[in-house]
Amino acid sequence: MSSKSSEAARIKETEQAFDRRRRTFGLVVAPILAIVVMLTPIDALSLEAHKLLAIMVLIALWWITEPVPIPVTSLLGPTLAVVTGAIPAGQAFAAFANPMIFLFMGGFILAKAMMMHGLDKRFAYWLLSRSWVGSNPRRIFLAIGLATALCSGWVSNTATAAMMFPICLGLLNSIKDMMAANGRQIELNEYKYATGLMLMTAYSASIGGVLTPIGTPPNLIMLGFLDSMQGIHVSFFEWMIWGFVAMTFYFAIAYVVLSKLFPADVDRIDGAEEFIRARIAELGQWTRAQKNTLFAFITAVVLWIIPGFLNMFLGETSPVLKMYNRLFPEAIAAMCGALMLFLLPVNFSKREFTISWKEASAGVEWGTLILFGGGLAMGGMMYKTGLSQWIGDLIVAGMGGAVSQVVLVAVFSVLALLLSELTSHTAATNMIGPLAITIAVSAGLSPVPVSVGIALSASLGFMLPVSTPPNAIVYASGYVPITKMISTGVYIDFVGIAFVTIPIAIWLVGLIVG
């Protein structure tokens, strides 16, 4: 076994040992702390809020340490709230029927159809085959990142990274073959460009998720909290404007950093264009299923963005806009697109349609939906019982009573980032989202900027393989030393927060005040 392989095995064993200790710690310590909190007198809290605080301690620690699957923990929270008498069952589980759940479900079904019928690959190969890309390694680097980011705005970050992974391997093998033909043998696990291309794939998958509300769970979670806690509705179109700006700047930072740290040492990659042409040829002609899927997807997107244009041309008080929003809210638009897939035939004589329920249900990330619903449930219960207000007042008092919008965004953005590096970004957003919104309202500030800051920052988990599934996928290739992922990730994380997240929040303050 080589020294590189031995080192990788040692690191993997260390990670597994840490995971075991983390889970054991959470399994034992979290219930004890919850009991201690319940037995500690807190006069400022009602009995219901006190019970919920103890439950929240248990749930938050189990979300972080994961002694049981995160979706199970998400169901445990509202269940315990009902069993302890803190909240009636109807209120505790109402969040699982939140329209945002169905927006996500529709997005999952559309994404499954796109992956199943190869629309995502068609787009990726189409972009890589453009004449401006050619065989230039820097342009291939850019094109891989762009294809990954744009796909992950609509398809799961994990699925996008998994799709792009073999494309990257094929291109890297082309480099290896080209160099071997020129008498130079290279090991891809020691080749800088290979490390950079893998990291670009992982980071772009996370960066692209900020583009749309359905791109990654933290976006919808914070939008759900704003809607349920403060009655503030952020439209699909509005988020896409903010998300596009954020994605563009995050991507530029990642591209510059990675291309400088992991440059190619060749001017062209012989065989790259042939590789892409061969992959396109394998896809063949457009099928009926692909055309149906594209039609359903475009229908959903059009329904999502129509309100933005109605707002621009008719004004936000227009009766036409109000009627449209009542008839076609974002969740209904998503479900319209998804349900069309079950109605558009591929072969009507055989009663074959674009997607079957078995195929669609396999594409729905039920665990994510449960986690999303559980987070909304816990956030809603904290708000209704006054628990989030009490915690928010404590934090405001600890900050001297004066909280500025920039400080609030900075603190919670960094907190969201750090938590997302260590646990699921969805769980991290669920934990701190309600507190951030409550503190903002208590301080007389708009909760929108800090909510957007948290959602954006939660997508910047670039330091560790466990931070995001895309990181884990490329780390498993063996081409990404963990030290390189940490050092590069730290830099991009904090440059992104300092020069993108906080400035976008300040920009939003100006828009809101204006």
Greater confidence (56 vs 510) lies with 56
Residue 397 pLDDT greater than 80, yes or no: no
In the listed set 337, 370, 403, which residue is the last one of a domain according to the structure?
Answer: 370
**Is position 90 within any domain?**
yes
321 domain residue, yes or no: yes
3-state percent helix, strand, coil for the chain, nearest multiple of 5? 75, 0, 20
Mean pLDDT for the chain overall: 87
Domain contains 337: yes
If asked whether residues 105 and 67 sit together in one domain, one would say no
Q: Are residues 14 and 62 in the same domain?
A: yes
Residue 76 lies in a domain: yes
Picking from 370, 396, 427, the residue at the C-terminal end of a domain is 370
pLDDT of residue 401: 62
The confidence score (pLDDT) of residue 510 equals 62
Residues 88 and 105 in one domain: no
Instruction: Flag the least confident range among 5-9, 37-41, 87-91, 93-97.
Output: 5-9
**Both tokens assigned to 392:** 């928010």
In a domain, 459, yes or no: no
Mean pLDDT of 436-450: 88
How many separate domains does the chain show? 2
355-363: long-range contacts at Cβ-Cβ below 8 A with a sequence spacing of 24 or more? Answer: 355/109, 355/112, 355/113, 355/116, 355/293, 359/112, 359/116, 360/109, 360/112, 360/113, 362/112, 363/108, 363/109, 363/111, 363/112, 363/113, 363/115, 363/116
Same domain, 71 and 5: yes
pLDDT of residue 55: 95
Does 343 reside within a domain? yes
Structure tokens, 283: 């896809």
Domain co-membership, 31 together with 72: yes
Domain range holding 301? Answer: 98-117+287-370
CA distances from 237 to 233, 318, 330, 372 (A): 11, 17, 10, 22
- Name the least confident of 9-23, 164-178, 295-309, 456-470: 9-23
Same structural domain, 111 and 87? no
Residue 348 lies in a domain: yes
* Residue pLDDT, tens place only, 208-267: 999 999 888 899 999 999 998 888 888 899 899 989 999 999 999 999 999 999 888 778
pLDDT at residue 319, as a whole number: 92
Do 307 and 360 share a domain, yes or no? Answer: yes
113-127, 174-188, 329-343 — which one is most confidently predicted on average?
329-343
The stretch 58-81 carries a mean pLDDT of 91
Q: Are both 107 and 38 inside the same structural domain?
A: no
Q: Which pLDDT score, from 0 to 100, does residue 297 have? A: 93
pLDDT at site 1? 47
Domain boundary among 342, 370, 398: 370
Query: Is residue 252 a part of any domain in this protein?
Result: no
Give the dihedral sign, CA 150/151/155/160: negative
Same domain, 2 and 85: yes
Q: Confidence band (pLDDT; 50, 70, 90) for 383? A: confident
Supply the pTM of this predicted model: 0.86
Question: Do 365 and 307 lie in a common domain?
Answer: yes
Per-residue pLDDT tens digits for 85-134: 999 999 899 989 888 899 989 999 998 999 899 888 899 888 888 888 88
Q: Which residue has the tokens 């990181």?
A: 471
Give 72: exposed, middle or buried? Use CB within 10 Å, 0-12, 13-18, 19+.
Answer: middle
